[in-house]
């Protein structure tokens, strides 16, 4: 025995666990079970029995399952903590109660092992609800240790690369993703009440479109053709409006071959919806109703504290014309191209001398206005050149009926009165094609099939896109988009 112990002392943690694994297998004890019939999760037990008195033992037997995240033994007594999806519960076993053989098996377990346990609940003298173990079985042998002081996993790089460890170690991270799930469920519930139909459209596109963005390109071997991961959901959803559906939405992943920041990830989740016979005013009202409802569902209030700033989601949200916002901020005449170009160069924006008025307006807005908008604000009526899929403004042909919803300096939603004139749409596509030929990489390509669909007639339509990840950032009080995506993209470790 001493020789075995001495040998184990020279092994790494993983090698020690592999040694234990072999011992289990040699004794015909399968360390990777098929199932376990549990009767409760941890939270349900805590919720139902947290008010029992100290020293009180319950007669009802219960079975739980989860990961052993810590253990300690005191002579003939064993204490541990079991973590399942819902929370953590202390467990206790006594040598006299379960016998020497099973007690030694319990002592040989490692943190990270997954167990099934049966016993009775009681409350310790220190007031902690505890499961007194009468039976247990090893369901999965963990061959690698949990991070040092499992509750203290803080290295951001490690957390994102090994999200499973992050989820084990940090309960607040698990809470973020529970919030995410609730938010998406609330969106679906809201839209179902509004009689929207959820649909699914292709992820692989022959022609990318629906947004100004660079795509990821792939190749289909059997068809021998290039395909693109979708950058938006828009054009296929509009085809469904042409086909006769009047209210449709999709929650799906989109892919943009662009930079990474606290609010950008190359792969993210987008909600897009389209409603026939509606315009951007209708969609604006729908948007503020949806967003405020999501906030209330999560907090029971229309006011939240996000990263130390109080944000009020009471409706109606503020509405500001993009041109008026710039004129007020910059004290210049928006109709004067030379003044716009001069100001853009003063601010060292990446614009050329041939930039259109609309491009200059948008660049200046992005630079000096957006980050200052903290409370929910609709920025409305954008330049027509920057919105090739939006309907021209009914009162000003230099603008389009478009809005962006900005919250805490971040774009949350984008919406149009959708362009349904196929001749105008084709001209916009041709303008975009010319811009692409002049070096604008993310200009919109011509989609002839979409034009054909419009020629068959699309009713007046309002459309909306909302970044789900950014909404979850707000509702989980999280500062980075990578915190609300299970597996964010990272630079290859070897590079």
**Chain segment 77-120, per-residue pLDDT in tens:** 999 999 999 999 999 999 999 999 999 999 999 999 999 999 99
- Is 493 or 288 the better-scoring residue by pLDDT? 288
Each domain of the chain, given as residue ranges in start order, spans 2-146, 171-317+375-483
Residue 173 has pLDDT above 50, yes or no: yes
pLDDT computed for residue 9 by the predictor: 75
The strand pair at 57-74 and 114-123 is best described as antiparallel
Residue 168 has pLDDT above 80, yes or no: yes
Q: Please state, rounded to an integer, the average pLDDT across all residues of the chain.
A: 93
The domain made up of 2-146 has a fold known as: OB fold (Dihydrolipoamide Acetyltransferase, E2P) (2.40.50)
Tell me the pTM. Answer: 0.91
Question: What share of the chain has pLDDT > 70, as a percent?
Answer: 96
Edge to edge, the sheet with strand 217-220 lists 204-205, 225-229, 217-220
Q: What is the DSSP letter of 117?
A: E
Domains 2-146 and 171-317+375-483 share a fold: no
DSSP sequence for 183-195:
HHHHHHHHHHHTT
pLDDT computed for residue 151 by the predictor: 46
Q: Under CATH, which architecture does the 171-317+375-483 domain have?
A: 2-Layer Sandwich (3.30)
* Nearest CA-CA partner of 252 in 290, 216, 198: 198
Edge to edge, the sheet with strand 377-383 lists 197-198, 247-255, 267-276, 461-467, 410-417, 399-407, 377-383, 318-321
The structure tokens listed for 422 are 């196929």
Per-residue pLDDT of 237-250, as tens digits, reads 999 999 999 999 99
pLDDT computed for residue 153 by the predictor: 61
Residue 3 has pLDDT above 80, yes or no: no
Residue 189 has pLDDT above 90, yes or no: yes
What radius of gyration, in Å, describes the C-alpha atoms of the chain? 29
Residues 422 and 454 sit within 8 Å (Cβ to Cβ): yes
Q: Measured between alpha carbons, how far is 405 from 288 in angstroms, rounded to an integer?
A: 9
């Amino acid at each position: 025995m001493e020789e075995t112990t001495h040998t184990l002392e020279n092994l790494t943690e993983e090698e020690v666990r592999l040694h234990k694994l072999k011992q289990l297998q040699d004794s015909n004890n399968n360390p990777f079970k098929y199932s376990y019939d549990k009767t409760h999760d941890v939270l349900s037990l805590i919720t139902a029995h947290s008010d029992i008195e100290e020293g009180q033992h319950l007669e009802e037997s219960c079975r739980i399952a989860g990961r052993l995240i810590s253990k300690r033994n005191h002579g003939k007594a064993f204490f541990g903590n079991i973590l399942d999806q819902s929370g953590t519960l202390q467990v206790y076993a006594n040598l006299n109660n379960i016998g020497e053989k099973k007690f030694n098996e319990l002592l040989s377990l490692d943190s990270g092992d997954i167990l099934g346990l049966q016993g009775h609940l009681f409350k310790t003298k220190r007031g902690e609800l505890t499961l007194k173990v009468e039976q247990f079985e090893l369901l999965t042998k963990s061959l690698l240790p949990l991070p040092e002081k499992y509750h203290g996993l803080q290295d951001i790089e490690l957390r994102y690369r090994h999200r499973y460890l992050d989820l084990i170690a940090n309960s607040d991270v698990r809470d973020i993703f529970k919030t995410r799930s609730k938010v998406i469920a609330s969106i679906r519930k809201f839209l179902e009440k509004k009689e929207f139909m959820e649909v699914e459209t292709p992820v692989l596109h022959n022609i990318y479109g629906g947004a100004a963005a660079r795509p990821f390109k792939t190749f289909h071997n059997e068809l021998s053709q290039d395909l693109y991961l979708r950058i938006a959901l828009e054009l296929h959803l509009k085809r469904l409006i042409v086909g006769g559906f009047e209210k449709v939405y999709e929650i799906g992943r989109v892919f943009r071959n662009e930079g990474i920041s606290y609010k950008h990830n190359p792969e993210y989740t987008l909600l897009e919806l389209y409603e026939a016979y509606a315009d951007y005013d209708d969609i604006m009202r729908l948007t503020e109703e949806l967003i405020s409802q999501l906030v209330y569902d999560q907090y029971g209030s229309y006011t939240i504290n996000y990263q130390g700033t109080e944000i009020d989601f009471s409706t109606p949200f503020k509405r500001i014309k993009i041109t008026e916002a710039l004129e007020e901020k910059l004290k210049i005449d928006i109709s004067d191209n030379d003044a716009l170009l001069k100001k853009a160069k003063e601010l060292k924006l990446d614009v050329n001398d041939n930039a259109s008025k609309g491009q200059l307006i948008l660049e200046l807005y992005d630079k000096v206005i957006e980050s200052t908008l903290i409370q929910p604000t609709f920025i409305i009526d954008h330049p027509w050149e920057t919105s090739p899929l939006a309907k021209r403004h009914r009162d000003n042909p230099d603008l389009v009926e478009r809005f962006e919803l900005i919250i805490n300096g971040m774009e949350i939603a984008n919406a149009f009165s959708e362009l349904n004139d196929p001749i105008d749409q084709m001209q916009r596509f041709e303008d975009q094609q010319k811009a692409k030929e002049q070096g604008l990489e993310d200009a919109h390509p011509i989609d002839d099939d979409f034009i054909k669909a419009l020629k068959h007639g699309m009713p007046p339509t309002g459309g909306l896109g909302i970044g789900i990840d950014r909404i979850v950032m707000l509702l989980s009080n999280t500062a980075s988009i990578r915190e609300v995506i299970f597996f964010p993209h990272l630079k290859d470790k070897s590079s």
